[in-house]
Structure 1
Amino acid sequence: MNNSVQRQPANSHEPSHVLKAEARNLSFFYGDKAALREVNLPVHARRATALIGPSGCGKSTLLRCFNRMHDLYPGHRYQGEIRLYPDDINLLAPETDPILVRSRIGMVFQKPNPFPKSVFENVAYGLRLRGIRQPAELEARVERALRDAALWDEVKDRLKDSAYALSGGQQQRLCIARALAVEPELLLFDEPTSALDPLATASIEELLRNLKVHVTTLIVTHNLQQAARVAEFTAFMYLGELVEFGPTEVLFNAPSQKQTEDYLAGRFG
């Protein structure tokens, strides 16, 4: 890792060399099986970073380390660190509360998973858990989150309707609004468009490009064109290892590793 990389507080105009987080020598084990080996990954503030690679290469496993999702299941083990800046805390340290980690690092899953509640209550859910009870503040923050998720104009007259009445693409944007409402510092996306049709996919991709004003994003995708469209940085993973990382345009057009070149050319994967 280049020691010149700056680690300083985030603001709305961070240069691309400021980090929001980084994995350092990160390995992860399911029981005795190593799913990740010595991964070093910088996550640049207010930028989108894509994780690409063939199925089973460790992309989603790596993503879920960032918010300690693996803690919900037995038999796991971490080695190494994930640092979160500007605090410079190790998210994987035993003394770091995973609930606190998840309050700062949100996640959007492959399939839309709205709660069996109204549109409004889906977005307000995390706010209520944070102790926000004043109706005016709840309404303002729900509206802001729905606007940030490019959904407000479509649902502003349907806030009391069930979230299940929305289309698949709308449900996914609702889940993004729910994550945004609590103002996460880092937002994780695990194949966020793989269950959506092309029109809904285009809508989510436009949203991903616009989200960088608000939050740092880390995105797992099998869609190479999607990575090229939405991410400033891309990491190629293979067999639990990070093979290559760099600016997306450079990695796609002039990869330094033969494995990366072969994957991008469709020779395997």
Structure 2
Amino acid sequence: MVKPTDRVVATENEPLKKLAEVRDLNFYYSGKHALKNINLPVYEKKVTALIGPSGCGKTTLLRCFNRMHDLYPGNRYEGEIWLGDDPPRNLLQMDPIEVRMQIGMVFQKPNPFPKSIYENVAYGLRVRGINNRAILDEVVERSLRNAALWDEVKDRLEEPGTSLSGGQQQRLCIARALATDPALILFDEPTSALDPIATVSIENLIVELKDQVTILIVTHNMQQAIRISQFTAFMYLGEIVEYNETMSIFTKPVEQKTADYVSGRFG
């Protein structure tokens, strides 16, 4: 298997900076060894895609970053997930609440809170104790603009978030994630429940957002990975089989198992 650290990666003639790095990560739940010796760099202001067949560990790995597995008893991590460099912090040793303030997440199905559009976006700031209306107004507008939703809802901010269409609800969830100024946003198949038009809108938004925030995305749609990501990791049975620049993964994979998957021979 090819470890990410075995290869020097260059893209677009830009120097790459790691925002986060997974080192020798193992994860266990209900006695099952779900993730095995995962090593993965996550580069700043880039989109990294996790691909692989169902049950291979993509979402399990994604949820290690924001410690969602802590919500269930008996789960256990081994290894490290480092974030930042000033100084670097091991996410597995931090307070989970603080981790989730720095790492946002957008789920497969839009999940707006049973609150107004405004309060959905302001929620994370209020959790931090920020209640100044001028500050909230500024952040809510900026986050909705960055999620390409402001023009559609600026006159409806007091309406329930659940009153929006599916694609709008997902963009609202993205705005909510952006409001706390996260270092990293996790996307878990964010378009799988959306129609083709809404899918295009979310994909275009992700491409634009990478200039502001680092993104790690799970997708079953290989064409989507090609369209929106710069780096891709192929996972199988809880391991990373291969990691590289996205176009290399899809056009000249090193591992036979990767070639078989991206060519549709299994999965």
**TM-score, normalization: structure 1?**
0.94
The aligned counterpart of 2:258 is 260
The aligned counterpart of 2:90 is 90
SS of equivalent residue, structure 1 residue 194? coil
The aligned counterpart of 1:81 is 80
Picking from 206, 213, 216, the partner of 1:215 is 213
The one-letter code sitting in structure 1 at the alignment partner of 2:244 is: G
> How big is the shift at 1:197?
0.2
Check the 8 A contact 1:16/1:44 in 2, yes or no. no
Aligned-partner Cα distance in 1 for 2:17–2:256: 29
Are residues 1:52 and 2:36 paired?
Answer: no
> How big is the shift at 1:15?
4.0
Aligned-partner Cα distance in 1 for 2:84–2:180: 18
Check the 8 A contact 1:26/1:78 in 2, yes or no. yes
The one-letter code sitting in structure 2 at the alignment partner of 1:241 is: E
1:106–1:46 CA distance, 2 compared to 1 (3 A): same
Are residues 1:107 and 2:130 paired?
Answer: no
Q: How many residues align structurally?
A: 259
The aligned counterpart of 2:24 is 25
> How big is the shift at 1:31?
2.8
> How big is the shift at 1:129?
1.2
Identity of aligned residues (%): 64
**TM-score, normalization: structure 2?**
0.94
The aligned counterpart of 2:165 is 167
Tell me which moved more, 240-249 or 130-139.
130-139
The aligned counterpart of 1:148 is 146
Aligned-partner Cα distance in 2 for 1:38–1:176: 31
> How big is the shift at 1:3?
9.9
Check the 8 A contact 1:243/1:260 in 2, yes or no. yes
Check the 8 A contact 1:16/1:47 in 2, yes or no. no
The aligned counterpart of 2:65 is 66
SS of equivalent residue, structure 1 residue 128? helix
Aligned-partner Cα distance in 2 for 1:29–1:176: 29
- Structure 1 stretches of 4+ with a deviation exceeding 4 A read 2-5
The one-letter code sitting in structure 1 at the alignment partner of 2:123 is: Y
SS of equivalent residue, structure 2 residue 92? coil
What CA deviation, in whole Å up to 9, does each residue of 1:124-175 have, x standing for no partner? 1111111221111111110000000000011011111111110000000000
The aligned counterpart of 2:126 is 128
Gaps of at least 5 residues in structure 1 are 6-13
The aligned counterpart of 2:246 is 248
> How big is the shift at 1:16?
5.0
State how 1:180-195 maps to structure 2 within 5 Å. 180-195=178-193
